[in-house]
Amino acid sequence: MKQIIIKDIKLIDNAAGELLKHFSKPGIFAFYGEMGAGKTTFIQALCRVLKVEDIVTSPTFALVNEYKSLSRGMLYHFDFYRIKNLTEVYDLGYEEYFYQDAYCFIEWPEMIEALLPESAVKIKIDVMKNGSRRISF
């Protein structure tokens, strides 16, 4: 397991770039962490590194936001915190997103664990006692 420590929020884009060096191809990235750990903030940094010009926000109520990257085409950002059952995810047409050649960033993947492909990259964000963040993958 690899780790990246973010000691200062000003260095988050560097950490996002470092993570992407390990995963040069698009795929499904599942972000685990407690509320307030920084999942959305880290996904925003990943989108900046991937040259997304859209405003990146948490899709808490929409379930999925679509962004266009100047260098990578479409990216998809999911937030499954509020789903009540997997039927909502089926109705969303998750397969159309997951099985494209695109980056899919997922917050609260615990809610859909049964639907994640084995190839999904699991990323855990931990808040350290000093306020820094540990990204494990």
pTM value is 0.94
Structure tokens at 56: 């990146």
The contacts of residue 58 (CB under 8 Å, 6+ apart) are 40, 77, 79, 107
Confidence of residue 82 (pLDDT cuts 50, 70, 90): very high
Residue 67 DSSP class: E
Contact 106, 80 (CB under 8 A): yes
For residue 42, what are the CA distances in angstroms to 10, 17, 31, 126, 137?
12, 11, 9, 12, 14
CA pair distance 40, 73, nearest whole angstrom:
20
Domain ranges of the chain: 3-136
Q: What is the mean pLDDT of the chain?
A: 95
3-136 belongs to which homologous superfamily?
P-loop containing nucleotide triphosphate hydrolases (3.40.50.300)
Residue 61 clears pLDDT 90, i.e. is over it: no
Confidence of residue 64 (pLDDT cuts 50, 70, 90): very high
At residue 47, φ and ψ (nearest 5 deg) are -65, -35
